Chain A
């Protein structure tokens, strides 16, 4: 079965600094990979997804993620963090042979300090 690990429970960065949130998955082939953000009052929103093609994926709000098969990783990055990026971020994994199940990581809470 697929699984997802987000090793950082909390991350604090200064406004304007770069950000990288880590995500590692366990799955034999190439899964479908997603990053969601949960902001207070806005629910869960899809940032970006990868299922084939270019391994560097661009998303909304200036985020990007890179799929690295050799490391089984799909880390989320942003070159310059804004205070409004403070939220909880979830990595998720799906696969065709697992039907419509989507497995989520435990989440990383991002705090932005001014």
Chain B
């Protein structure tokens, strides 16, 4: 089945630790996105990538990093510089055209120990 796979479903971070959230898609989509969801704030864009080996900052990129070495994969690292990392993280992808829909993964809930 084609789709987007996020792992793990739940993740715990210790103080000062970097953690990486995985996102893999087999939809042959060029564009991939990371959103953060907090109650009452909707989905806020962290980073996005329109092509392999290229990515852009979204609205809340501070404390996060990404890579796009393969078309299928767009991992997100939550660094120790992100002081409030507890949130639900959603990965999405779509074809390039801006009027096409996003396909979402099932999300990762990150909590701080």
| Chain A residues engaging chain B, CB cutoff 8 angstroms | 4, 6, 9, 32, 34, 36, 43-44, 46, 49, 51, 90, 94-96, 98-107
For chain B, the count of residues having a C-beta within 8 Å of the partner chain is 24
Contact, CB under 8 Å: A96 / B98: yes
Q: In the complex, how many angstroms separate the beta carbon of B86 from the nearest chain A beta carbon?
A: 18
Q: In the complex, how many angstroms separate the beta carbon of A40 from the nearest chain B beta carbon?
A: 11
Contact, CB under 8 Å: A105 / B48: no
| Chain B residues engaging chain A, CB cutoff 8 angstroms | 31, 33, 35, 40-45, 48, 50, 58, 90, 92, 94, 96, 98-99, 101-102, 104-107
Contact, CB under 8 Å: A106 / B41: yes
Contact, CB under 8 Å: A107 / B98: no
Contact, CB under 8 Å: B101 / A34: yes
B40 in complex: contacting residue of A9, A44, A104, CB < 8 Å = A9
Closest to B31 in A: A100
Closest to B44 in A: A104
Q: Which 6 A-B pairs have the closest CB atoms?
A: A51-B99, A44-B104, A104-B43, A106-B42, A104-B42, A46-B101
